[in-house]
Amino acid sequence: KIQYQSVEKLLMANVVTGAASMFRREMLDKILPFPQYIAASFHDHWIALCCINFGKISFLNHVLQDYVQHSNNVIGAGRNLQKSYNFNKIWYFIRGFLPWILPKRLKKFRYHGETFYLNDIVRLELLSRSLSAVSDISSFDEFSIIKRNGFLKISLRAFLSNFLRLSTLHAESQIIQSFYWKACCNNLHSGFYTEKIDEISGERKEDYTVNDLFSAAEYLKKKISSVKFNIIDDASIAVNLLIPSFAPEITYGGYITKFYLARLLEEAGYNVRLLIVDDDIPTDIEKSSIEISKILGDKNLFSNIEVINISNRDENLISFSPNDRIIATTWWTAHIANAITSNLKENRFFYLIQEYEPFTFPNGSFKATAEESYNLPHYPIYSSSILKSYFEEKLTSPNHLKARSASGVSFNNPITQVYCNSEKELSGRENFKILLYCRPDAHASRNLFELALLGLDSFLSDSNKEVDYVVSGVGSSVSKITEYEFSENFVLKLYPKMKLNEYSSFVASHDIGMALMHTPHPSLVPIEFASGGLVTVTTSYENKDQEYFNSISPNIIVAKPTIKDLETQLRNAAFRCRDTKARIQNAKVKWPTVKEYKDSLKPILEFIQKNSES
């Protein structure tokens, strides 16, 4: 039988369901605002406490609502309420006080006890003090569930709840066990309780810590370890591209360049092999070949290219000819390439450099090992002239100069083709849409995700905006469309990865782009956005400035990587995106697209041919 007349019992266990109740309008002044949310606080519990404190609660014994319960409820009461009270219930109650003899419950008792304490003690204390604040009743000033009800009374009711259906729904049992957990916590500082748990569960804390400490070292070792190979007596030449993964979900940007380069080399008469060196993404070569070919619109892309998975480098044996050429495509594949070429006639590998990769790490072992890759003997291939300039101006130590050939080559990664909409369509839009290239992942910190959000927030906080803005985000790892309310100024709507044709149409449906990059590489995304007619804000770095981007497209605006300047340049973009004729004109970016990949990658082919002559 439910109890809704006693403040103490109603405080312990709410039996007033919000969806099945109503209250007088004048109670709103007492009810609002709701107390701070903590643990399992519910609005209807607070409403019921206010109502019983200032008046009374009446029960209307009529069925006025359908409420469906079944065995697989997502929320709602479970089937346990319908089970009989038996020995299992009593044992469940007793074992809550004996965590050290039940190894399966140790971790739950240890790590989730605080949650139980918040639910059963702190939450009730907060409700009681909040009720005192609105009612000026002194008896609520200092909360003590034990003093209010008596320790023996609560303990007795806690035990009886295993046999009887009490109106407080086992609340006393939870309260007693919560206090017991708190008492156990007092022994944590002495180390007794922690040692006892580790002893019984067979888990020593220092073992876990050691494994955790060494995991990064093991991962780095795995990354740069050489492949298992042999040298065969063969006069032919194969060009081997070392790539981390081979999967459709990573086919964008740099990977598109790698796949098209393989195709171009194959068309030039080389035997080409793609060697997959990592197992981070599960690889199904046959399926991935079909899917990647569909994405890039070339069903014959891998017809004459051999794709080999050597990610298990300790077991997979790969053969090389003394005349083979090796192309590294990342900093760790550079270390692998160096181990191979030291056994070939040509001891330099070709290094496809698409970024100054040490910038992807904080100072530490990974950054140092990435920096070392540029000290290994190689022929450098830079994915933009400005990136080439950065290397030649900044990396001038004797080791760097000795490692790289005197004359590297630069090229421009082909971008995804984005077609700008017509002037009529652009000028007919009621609201401006902002497209943010957002990469929250730690390894993509150079995309300044946090600064981008803060700059947007500052820009959108202007109460004098003439139009409303819709903010979309691409580039994150979400699996479905997800909305995130960053502030009262805007909601960011994140979109999952798309096929290239879908991505092209999606980009063109926006007006303002924001794609930041805090490295010397220009990034392809702001160029793609600009080609879709978006007035796009990106960031400067070293000699990567407005003059450089003007040579690509005036649709690109360069901001300093500060919140204030990002806000300023977003205002500039908002003003300029009204000039639809200029947007369309400037969408003709001076940069190759994937349809022009042969012209884009021709400098690489000529460079490899020149440095592969016998």
Instruction: Transcribe 414-433 into DSSP letters.
Output: PBPP-PPPPHHHHHT-SSEE
* DSSP conformational letter for 541: B
Quick one: pLDDT at residue 118? 67
Quick one: pLDDT at residue 201? 44
Both tokens of residue 582? 């200029």
Quick one: pLDDT at residue 205? 46
Whole-angstrom distance, CA of residue 264 vs CA of residue 254: 15
Q: Give the orientation angle of helix 365-372 with respect to helix 205-224, to 10 degrees.
A: 10
Quick one: pLDDT at residue 189? 44
pLDDT-derived band at 116 (thresholds 50, 70, 90) equals low
Amino acid at 208: Y
CA-wise closest residue to 594 among 260, 274, 218: 260
Question: Mean of the pLDDT values across residues 152-169?
Answer: 79
Beta strand 482-487 with 490-494 is antiparallel
CA-wise closest residue to 523 among 408, 316, 428, 384: 384
Whole-angstrom distance, CA of residue 514 vs CA of residue 476: 14
Whole-angstrom distance, CA of residue 203 vs CA of residue 193: 14
φ/ψ of residue 383, rounded to 5? -85, 20
**Exposure on the CB side of residue 94, measured as CA atoms within 13 A:** 6
Q: Mean pLDDT lowest for which of 8-17, 347-356, 589-598? A: 8-17
Beta partners for 309? 276
Tokens 């089970």 locate to 83
Burial of 557 from C-beta contacts in 10 A (0-12 / 13-18 / 19+): buried
- 447 compared with 136, residue with greater pLDDT: 447
Give this prediction's pTM. Answer: 0.65
Q: What is the pLDDT of residues 363-387, one digit of tens each?
A: 999 999 999 999 999 999 999 999 9
Give the helix/strand (H/E) hosting 576. helix 563-576
- 298 compared with 566, residue with greater pLDDT: 566
Quick one: pLDDT at residue 464? 62
Task: Examine the pLDDT at 182 and tell me if it is beyond 50.
Answer: yes
Q: What is the pLDDT of residues 315-339, one digit of tens each?
A: 888 999 999 999 999 999 999 999 9
CA-wise closest residue to 265 among 297, 306, 209, 311: 306
Quick one: pLDDT at residue 314? 81
Quick one: pLDDT at residue 98? 61
Whole-angstrom distance, CA of residue 390 vs CA of residue 149: 75
Q: What is the pLDDT of residues 235-250, one digit of tens each?
A: 788 999 999 999 888 8
- Where helices occur in 342-472 by DSSP H, the ranges are 365-372, 385-394, 398-403, 423-427, 449-460
- 200 compared with 513, residue with greater pLDDT: 513
Beta partners for 137? none
Quick one: pLDDT at residue 253? 81
Whole-angstrom distance, CA of residue 467 vs CA of residue 131: 45
Amino acid at 223: K
Burial of 41 from C-beta contacts in 10 A (0-12 / 13-18 / 19+): middle
pLDDT-derived band at 125 (thresholds 50, 70, 90) equals confident
Quick one: pLDDT at residue 362? 87
Amino acid at 270: Y
Quick one: pLDDT at residue 141? 43
Question: Mean of the pLDDT values across residues 36-65?
Answer: 87
pLDDT-derived band at 310 (thresholds 50, 70, 90) equals very high
Give the helix/strand (H/E) hosting 9. helix 7-12
Q: Mean pLDDT lowest for which of 78-82, 126-130, 174-178? A: 78-82
pLDDT, the chain, mean: 84
